[in-house]
Chains A and B, each alone.
Chain A
């Protein structure tokens, strides 16, 4: 069940506070849950967990590759490890360990990459993963999620801490505040996109911090008489191919909106589906093969055109292309 807020206000809890709250509950519910960090636990708000469960909070130091390998080893003896670093380090620094020690070895590991894309803000280009999902999307069998808000995050952590899910899961989300999209009590199914708004003229497929932008864009488009469907595609892999095919067939034009490089990202994932199912015009909104830089999140969203205005413009372009076909 999904209920949206439609207030476009900042969520009352920071993402990291939602995460640690969910992890404390998860640790209480399941003795197997352990948390690993690479000298970013306090920056990630995990200090309460480290205090509450000192033996199950594993400080690895600034050694992400080793951390991910240890997580694999822990899972081999039945633990459910959640290993965190900034998204750039979790994905790039430990890429081969994720590939071989976790995925190829068919172990059971949860990986967290915080501060994706422009949300790395003043940490700048060295810390700004526009490529984490793209790097990991080619790891067979991995599940990748771009988390939208604290309500979704809390719910996903609870699912991932259970014994029912097995595999390698990567979640990216900002540490700080995001716009609230979902009402408490909403439930989320991994691998299923969520249609937040219906429309027949174009579909905007977005995730993470781009979901509220997509909803604002759809409201703008409505004023012009354009009915835009909005989908929160929080799971990038396995991508909800059925839903994308339905959107292609029913709306005939798609816009993707991602806080990520469009090369290897959500645009690519959606285009891979439509190329086989039903080719339709797709306009990407996202990072156009660039590196990051320092700046406030708002500045960077404007600098990289990650805005509702850009999404609305892309929708008009996609609809015009559809008309020509």
Chain B
């Protein structure tokens, strides 16, 4: 997948995510939009997976710890063929396979149930440790929210992962700087997440998180670290994605209160039209 194809894929994920949210009429637009480029990089080329065999044991796993961004993951999974695209219109309907927060028991391709924030970190750590015990060379990817990093469990897991040198664990932290009640600075200041992860023993890097090409390069670099060097220097990697909450969606980007918001048909159509124009200009 070349750079242009990757950007096009990101655009398609963004459109499908908005279609999914608009079908229900509201949802976690902001935090879904901000991770679209990360999902594009992972599902475009970087994750070892097989849509025809979603439970393949030695696959790479993705734990979407900020489980409320489910619609963005559903969009990526449907575009990769894990399930029919028509499912996207069933978001949050009674009996749906696509609940607001991700559920490993309901959706093909979803590797962990998340929604109670902080818990995905520990689950990903367990998967990475178990994969190593199993002798697999697979990677475990973890997407954390920045507001989620308020949870102490994130840091319990971070300490454990570094102590156990889980170099095949790669966390992508969606640093969109907003959480439900306001900016992360207003609610509970996080400081530098890269410094925090580094001080917990991780390799940490800041990346323009709404640039799919840059995210893909950072993921490749993170994976390269796992395969080389002194074992004593092996450590997990945190890619801090500098993102904009609501990115690329005209009615959500930069809007206070975009954590969970109405997603009307008209606004969605207008937003998708803008995205389509931008993709055509690539």
Residues of A within 8 A of B (CB): 34, 55-56, 58, 60-61, 63, 65-79, 81, 96-97, 99-101, 104-106
Instruction: Report yes or no: B124 in contact with A105, Cβ–Cβ below 8 A.
Output: no
Q: How far is the CA of A126 from the CA of B18 in the complex (A)?
A: 49
Give a binary string over B119-144; 1 marks a CB under 8 Å from any A CB, 0 the rest: 10111111111110110100000000
Instruction: Report yes or no: A96 in contact with B160, Cβ–Cβ below 8 A.
Output: no
Q: Output the nearest chain B residue to A103 by Cβ-Cβ distance.
A: B113
Question: Which of B42-50, B85-93, B104-112 faces chain A?
Answer: B104-112
Q: How far is the CA of A105 from the CA of B121 in the complex (A)?
A: 15
Complex partner residue of A66 from B104, B111, B116, B157, CB under 8 angstroms = B157
Complex partner residue of B104 from A60, A63, A69, A105, CB under 8 angstroms = A105
| Contacts A69-B153, A105-B123 supplied; 9 other A-B pairs, CB < 8 Å | A66-B156, A70-B122, A73-B125, A77-B127, A78-B130, A79-B130, A96-B119, A100-B119, A105-B113
Instruction: Report yes or no: B129 in contact with A73, Cβ–Cβ below 8 A.
Output: yes
Instruction: Report yes or no: A66 in contact with B125, Cβ–Cβ below 8 A.
Output: yes
Instruction: Report yes or no: A69 in contact with B123, Cβ–Cβ below 8 A.
Output: yes
B81 within 8 A of A: no
Q: Which of B182-218 contact A (CB under 8 A)?
A: none
Instruction: Report yes or no: A63 in contact with B160, Cβ–Cβ below 8 A.
Output: yes
B159 within 8 A of A: yes
Q: How large is the interface on B (under 10, 10 to 19, 20 to 34, 35 or more residues)?
A: 20 to 34
List residues of chain A with CB within 8 A of the CB of B122.
65-70, 72-73, 97, 101
B57 within 8 A of A: yes
List residues of chain A with CB within 8 A of the CB of B118.
65
Give a binary string over B162-193; 1 marks a CB under 8 Å from any A CB, 0 the rest: 01000000000000000000000000000000
Q: Given contacts A63-B156, A78-B57, A96-B119, is CB(A70)–CB(B129) below 8 Å?
A: yes
Complex partner residue of B123 from A55, A63, A101, CB under 8 angstroms = A101
Q: How far is the CA of A70 from the CA of B159 in the complex (A)?
A: 13
30 contacts between A and B (CB under 8 A): A34-B133, A58-B129, A60-B160, A63-B156, A65-B118, A66-B153, A69-B119, A69-B123, A69-B157, A70-B123, A71-B126, A73-B123, A73-B125, A73-B129, A74-B127, A74-B130, A76-B61, A76-B130, A77-B130, A78-B57, A78-B134, A79-B133, A96-B119, A97-B122, A101-B119, A104-B113, A105-B103, A105-B105, A106-B104, A106-B105
List residues of chain B with CB within 8 A of the CB of A68.
122
Instruction: Report yes or no: B133 in contact with A73, Cβ–Cβ below 8 A.
Output: no
Q: How far is the CA of A99 from the CA of B124 in the complex (A)?
A: 17
Instruction: Report yes or no: A66 in contact with B160, Cβ–Cβ below 8 A.
Output: yes
Instruction: Report yes or no: A73 in contact with B153, Cβ–Cβ below 8 A.
Output: no
Q: How far is the CA of A101 from the CA of B159 in the complex (A)?
A: 19
List residues of chain A with CB within 8 A of the CB of B63.
73
Shortest beta-carbon distance, A64 to chain B, in Å? 9
Q: Output the nearest chain B residue to A101 by Cβ-Cβ distance.
A: B119
Q: How far is the CA of A215 from the CA of B122 in the complex (A)?
A: 44
Instruction: Report yes or no: B134 in contact with A72, Cβ–Cβ below 8 A.
Output: no
B115 within 8 A of A: yes
Q: Given contacts A60-B160, A61-B159, A105-B105, is CB(A70)–CB(B126) below 8 Å?
A: yes
Q: Output the nearest chain A residue to B121 by Cβ-Cβ distance.
A: A69
Q: Output the nearest chain B residue to A56 by Cβ-Cβ distance.
A: B133
What are the 5 closest A-B residue pairs judged by CB atoms, nearest first?
A73-B126, A69-B122, A66-B156, A77-B130, A105-B113
Q: How far is the CA of A69 from the CA of B159 in the complex (A)?
A: 14
- The CB with the most chain B CB atoms within 10 A, among A76, A96, A99, A100, is that of A76
List residues of chain B with CB within 8 A of the CB of A78.
57, 130, 134
Shortest beta-carbon distance, A183 to chain B, in Å? 37
List residues of chain B with CB within 8 A of the CB of A63.
156, 159-160
Instruction: Report yes or no: A73 in contact with B130, Cβ–Cβ below 8 A.
Output: yes
List residues of chain A with CB within 8 A of the CB of B156.
61, 63, 65-66
Shortest beta-carbon distance, A166 to chain B, in Å? 13
Complex partner residue of A76 from B112, B136, B152, CB under 8 angstroms = B112
Instruction: Report yes or no: A70 in contact with B119, Cβ–Cβ below 8 A.
Output: no
Shortest beta-carbon distance, B110 to chain A, in Å? 10
Q: Output the nearest chain B residue to A97 by Cβ-Cβ distance.
A: B119
List residues of chain B with CB within 8 A of the CB of A101.
112-113, 116, 119, 122-123
Q: How far is the CA of A237 from the CA of B123 in the complex (A)?
A: 26
